Structure 1
């Protein structure tokens, strides 16, 4: 009888030990919203991460619905359910700080990705420098119009870090062309439909006066293109720029209708997930994504960096087909 009890106890201990060894790391991703293609690519890249596909990580992707309060509620859920780490792309640079604080108070590491938050409590951040892209896109427009004429600016959601930094870059480029006038400057909230409506209104208010369109993302630049076409105007007579390298924008670049800069959603997402796992396992982890070998200028450095900057890639006639091939 005693031998049977000892054997049962040993078997139970073995099963318990095995279950603990196989316990998944629970990670939540909180992007600001999933309506547009860029963040859909970002979310899909998380699901394709080797640690998720192997079952090592149990991943939940939330939809922030472009609302800071929704994101705060999602953080409360993740804190209550004791997630091991959180990846955060906030809609608002200031409002997101309260969410990070709540996770930090619960001892949950938060990795920033894509958009920034005004908080010193982030463990790490993986994204791209939006001031640089704002300057780059505006410069392509200004170069095309010869540093003279009139432009309009379509901004992202006011208060989001990308809107703030890209506008800073836009203004830096505009300062180099004092003869260029900004006729209109308004947010279209990253939305193609909102941008189309704004551009239709601006074309009516400023007939034959708009030479360039600075769209702080591709969706808005594409909305402006639709408005121009609907007005019966020649798109190629305008200088139009966007940022992100989404699929429709790549086709528009190929058609000579606009310029774009690729923001690597996959690298931002998978890099952040590697860092989330690294922190959840308290450093006992080697990165599994191939993005660390893709970008030699962004070394892993034992997961200890506070900021990992993913480089921008201008979309060109030479690389557009290669980029399109990744979307098939």
Structure 2
């Protein structure tokens, strides 16, 4: 997949063709970071929203660089420049509340997407249930190693304090509680990073030789880092049960090769759904959504763009759908 954005960029503005109206809506998408593929897919999907392509929306993508203070400064920028709406994927569930407050005081509606913030001032949220995905991925690993037989697993966590880390861990622990014979040998953050996860796994393989049966990676990048460590140690990946979350391209390839399991988090649906909801919030009118994701997921009812929570479904990656998913990344 082409690399959409440089990880060092602070922001980039995507504009479609010549504006279809005199005053396009100014919408900012403040994303926690653009270094990894998942958020790059999210940003590319946002760029492809019909309202952005037509010029109805002037969309600015902000790279939060995995820093809550950077994200807060970006909201101050949106407040100063009079943005009409903001979409927020915060790095920290608690610290992000200040950014939402800044927008609220400036009269800017904030739509959450992908990661959550602990704020009653949020207008709406378009994302997926991370507790559910954490439970699903842990179940995949536990079923593979045998819940009754027992065994040992390690958990590679996302950034501590981000809602996805908190909720996926809750789901991991719920599944593990159903398999009391399975022991968690190690549990540590790798900050969604493949390289950090590889280092962690290298250390764990040295500390627990021959003892690790499963790897619960709270995202695909970290699961892939664990796979690289296993290969570098000269071990057989097929001797480990490994699962991740997101459905990034390399993970899809690894699923097809039988090296891991994954659950697709639909970045396109989250991004384009959030833009539709943001337009509805900014216009206070009878806006009809322009993205096709609402027909793709009919169980996610539009409700005039006024629902407080839009739950984008998870899709387990399987042998039956992996080729079709890979085809979308060409």
In the superposition, the TM-score normalised over structure 2's length comes to 0.93
Give 3-state SS (helix, strand or coil) of 1:117's partner: coil
Following superposition, the deviation at residue 90 of structure 1 comes to 0.1
Partner of 1:27: 27
- Residues 81 and 229 of structure 1: CA distance in aligned 2, closer, same or farther (over 3 Å): same
Partner of 1:117: 117
Deviations 1:181-200 (A, max 9, x none): 10000000000000000000
- Residue 178 of structure 1 is aligned with which of 177, 180, 186? 180
Deviations 1:240-298 (A, max 9, x none): 00000000000000000000000000000000000111111113311000000000110
- 1:49-68 alignment to 2 at 5 Å? 49-68=49-68
Deviations 1:33-80 (A, max 9, x none): 000000000000010000000111100001000000000000000000
Greater than 4 Å deviation, 4+ residue runs? none
User: Quick check: which has more Rg, 1 or 2?
Assistant: 1
1:201 is the counterpart of 2:203: yes
> Which 5+ residue runs of structure 2 have no aligned equivalent?
1-18
Deviations 1:152-209 (A, max 9, x none): 0000000000000000000000000001110000000000000000000000000000
Contact 2:135 2:175 in 1 (8 A): yes
Partner of 1:294: 296
Give 3-state SS (helix, strand or coil) of 2:245's partner: coil
CA RMSD of aligned residues (A): 1.0
Partner of 1:232: 234
Partner of 2:87: 87
Provide the rounded CA distance (Å) in 1 between the counterparts of 2:173 and 2:276: 35
- Residues 21 and 149 of structure 1: CA distance in aligned 2, closer, same or farther (over 3 Å): closer
- Residues 20 and 197 of structure 1: CA distance in aligned 2, closer, same or farther (over 3 Å): closer
- Residue 280 of structure 2 is aligned with which of 278, 281, 295? 278
- Residues 282 and 214 of structure 1: CA distance in aligned 2, closer, same or farther (over 3 Å): same
Provide the rounded CA distance (Å) in 2 between the counterparts of 1:229 and 1:275: 44
Partner of 1:306: 308
> Which 5+ residue runs of structure 1 have no aligned equivalent?
1-18
Q: Whose helix fraction is larger, Structure 1's or Structure 2's?
A: 1
1:38 is the counterpart of 2:41: no
- Residue 253 of structure 2 is aligned with which of 241, 251, 254? 251
Give 3-state SS (helix, strand or coil) of 2:301's partner: coil
In the superposition, the TM-score normalised over structure 1's length comes to 0.94
How many residue pairs align between the two structures? 310
Provide the rounded CA distance (Å) in 2 between the counterparts of 1:265 and 1:20: 26
- 1:123-134 alignment to 2 at 5 Å? 123-134=123-134
Give 3-state SS (helix, strand or coil) of 1:125's partner: strand
